[in-house]
Amino acid sequence: MEKKVRVRFAPSPTGGLHLGGVRTVLYNYLFAKQHGGDFVLRIEDTDQNRYVPGAEEYIFECLKWVGLEPDESPLHGGPYAPYRQSERKEMYRQYAEQLVKQGNAYYAFDTPAELEAMREKFRTEENPSPQYNHSLRGRMRNSLTMSEDEVSRLLKEGTPHVIRIKMPENETLTFTDIIRGEVHFNSSLVDDKVLLKADGMPTYHLAVVIDDYSMKITHAFRGEEWLPSAPVHLLLWKYLGWEQEMPQWAHFPLILKPDGHGKLSKRDGDRLGFPVFAMNWKDPRNEELTHGFRELGFLPEAFINMLAVLGWNDGTEQELFSLEELVNKFSLENVHKGGAKFNYEKAKWFNHEWIKKLPVDRWQSTVRKEFEKNGIIIKDEEKFIRVLELVKDRCTLLTDFFTQASFFFKAPEALDVASVKPKWNEDKSMFFDILSEKLTTLEEWNATAIEALFKETATEKGIKMGELQLPFRIMLVGGKFGPTVFDIAALIGKEETIARIRKGLSDIGL
Ligand code: GLU
């Protein structure tokens, strides 16, 4: 019987989610849903020094925002709980001890000072940071170099120690990556990684293998930066006797800086003025705020779509995909091997397309909150929707709606009179005077009727329509933007239109 597909996203709670992390979530999610499988979220918090309070909550909130929620997690529970590695601490040691017994790992008692002395002593120009490996372990204080009696004595006395993997010399280790095909490593190039730390916590290497095994993970997808760790993991799967159960691996390409040179970092975002985090993240260690896509006004649909095609396509020219379509069309075989350049302008293009594509009610409440934050309380829901429909083509980010539409609900504070003044004259002033009078008696209040009256008055005064529309816009909107002036007047209503003309006339003066 085919095994049920089970994938996992295994973040370390060391900070907010970078867009590369969300893309890993997305590809995991798509694969799981496509195969009717389970998507597990496991918190890898064994490195207590790097633990950042709030990071775990951030991850959950982020997955909720993008709509990629796990089936099992510390928050959602599940049959393989606990899903937080720090809560599984007790189960790791036995496996590390088993490896020592088998001769695949050893106790190492070297103190930090001794490790430093080793690095000093063996440092050469070709090898500036010597590693604890097959060539040096014979000179260090470990169970390979010490007598059995001494080792037991040290252990009995509770001497601080770690357990290290004993990497074999000159073996070629191979596995087949779903995206890259066969990948080979020379075991001599890998150091004897610590598996169990002095505090009894496993390192990532040991914990990831034990948990992927015990949580019955069938496919493990992660970023390319983890590829160098693969030989250690391969050996652990083998030494623990679980080789047959090893998940199929896929290592996703990096997300690159816009110029393609190197991995995209938070610093690139700061330097070039775009977010690299999914949501705002405030690092509690230094209170520094990193801006996120959500707060900048991105729709989750657009964010997901943009990430999906950052390193994948379906083999056609299609760029816009809904989550449902992605679940149907995604395939790991079409994930590119090379890194994908991040392009912020393209990210915004996706957002603009999704604003136009989705029904207003999908994002209306986000925009309403933005208005409220800026002091505008929406009372007339119907008018609000009509306004949003009218201006949505002009908005790239959800935050643009405030600039593009606040004047529908609140008269502009300052008018750009400078753009009207040079061509202003008494005739124009009179025109608006008469217009405001006539508007009071206009029975039908709609764009067509207002435009007809405007035209008729302009003809009477012998002024070209083109000369009058700009001042009208400045009076209603405050600046040179927005949809057709007659649509604006229709929506803001008779009284307000007349009031703004009067205020405009007095601001422009003569
Ligand atoms: N804890 C690792 C991380 O923070 C997980 C790597 C993996 O998926 O194996 O990315």
Residue among 89, 216, 263, 266 flagged as catalytic:
266
User: Does ligand 1 have an atom closer than 6 angstroms to the CB of 202?
Assistant: no
Predicted local distance difference test score (pLDDT) of residue 157:
97
Closest CA to 202 of 90, 108, 106: 90
The CA 178 to ligand 1 mean position distance, Å, reads 18
Residue 204 CA: nearest ligand 1 atom is: 1
Number of Cβ within a 10 Å radius of residue 148? 8
* Residue at token pair 């849903």: 33
Instruction: Answer whether CATH 3.90.800.10 is correct for domain 86-252.
Output: yes
The residue whose C-alpha atom lies closest to atom 3 belonging to ligand 1 is 11
Mutate to test the pocket of ligand 1, among 84, 226, 229 (most ligand atoms within 8 A of CB): 226
Residue 14 CA: nearest ligand 1 atom is: 4
Largest CA distance in the chain: 112
Mutate to test the pocket of ligand 1, among 41, 193, 222 (most ligand atoms within 8 A of CB): 222
Q: For every one of its 510 residues, what pLDDT tens digit does the chain have, with 9 covering 90 and above?
A: 789 999 999 999 999 999 999 999 999 999 999 999 999 999 999 998 999 999 999 999 999 999 999 999 999 999 999 999 999 999 999 999 999 999 999 999 999 999 999 999 999 999 999 999 999 999 999 999 999 999 999 999 999 999 999 999 999 999 999 999 999 999 999 999 999 999 999 999 999 999 999 999 999 999 999 999 999 999 999 999 999 999 999 999 999 999 999 999 989 999 999 999 999 999 999 999 999 999 999 999 999 999 999 999 999 999 999 999 999 999 999 999 999 999 999 999 999 999 999 999 999 999 999 999 999 999 999 999 999 999 999 999 999 999 999 999 999 999 999 999 999 999 999 999 999 999 999 999 999 999 999 999 999 999 999 999 999 999 999 999 999 999 999 999 999 999 999 999 999 986
Predicted local distance difference test score (pLDDT) of residue 2:
82
**CATH architecture assignment, domain 6-83+254-344:** 3-Layer(aba) Sandwich (3.40)
User: Does ligand 1 have an atom closer than 6 angstroms to the CB of 11?
Assistant: yes
User: What's this model's pTM, rounded to 2 decimal places?
Assistant: 0.94
User: Does ligand 1 have an atom closer than 6 angstroms to the CB of 211?
Assistant: no
Helix (H, G, I), strand (E, B) or coil at 277: strand
Residue 212 CA: nearest ligand 1 atom is: 9
Task: Read off the DSSP letter of residue 230.
Answer: H
Predicted local distance difference test score (pLDDT) of residue 224:
94
HSE-CB at 260 with a 13 A cutoff on CA atoms is 1
Sign of CA dihedral 372, 378, 382, 388: negative
User: Does ligand 1 have an atom closer than 6 angstroms to the CB of 10?
Assistant: yes
Inter-residue contact 415 to 441 (CB < 8 Å): no
Q: What angle do CA 33, 293, 353 make, to 5 degrees?
A: 75
Give CA–CA dist 350/347, Å, rounded.
5
Give CA–CA dist 423/425, Å, rounded.
7
Closest CA to 165 of 188, 189, 141, 133: 133
The CA 38 to ligand 1 mean position distance, Å, reads 18
The CA 497 to ligand 1 mean position distance, Å, reads 59
Pairing of strands 340-341, 194-196: unpaired
Give CA–CA dist 244/233, Å, rounded.
14
User: Does ligand 1 have an atom closer than 6 angstroms to the CB of 486?
Assistant: no
The CA 8 to ligand 1 mean position distance, Å, reads 10
Domain coordinates of the chain in residue numbers? 6-83+254-344, 86-252, 359-408, 417-508
- Count of helices and strands (H, E) across the chain: 20, 13
The CA 219 to ligand 1 mean position distance, Å, reads 13
Residue 21 CA: nearest ligand 1 atom is: 10
Give CA–CA dist 486/24, Å, rounded.
48
Residue 233 CA: nearest ligand 1 atom is: 9
User: Does ligand 1 have an atom closer than 6 angstroms to the CB of 95?
Assistant: no
What are the distances in angstroms from CA 262 to CA 24, 251, 348, 423? 18, 17, 22, 54
Is there a common fold for 6-83+254-344 and 417-508? Answer: no
Closest CA to 274 of 300, 260, 253, 293: 293
Give CA–CA dist 218/240, Å, rounded.
17
User: Does ligand 1 have an atom closer than 6 angstroms to the CB of 44?
Assistant: yes
Give CA–CA dist 39/4, Å, rounded.
11
**Is 266 labeled as catalytic in the residue annotation?**
yes
Q: Name residue 288's beta-bridge partners.
A: 283
**CATH architecture assignment, domain 417-508:** Orthogonal Bundle (1.10)
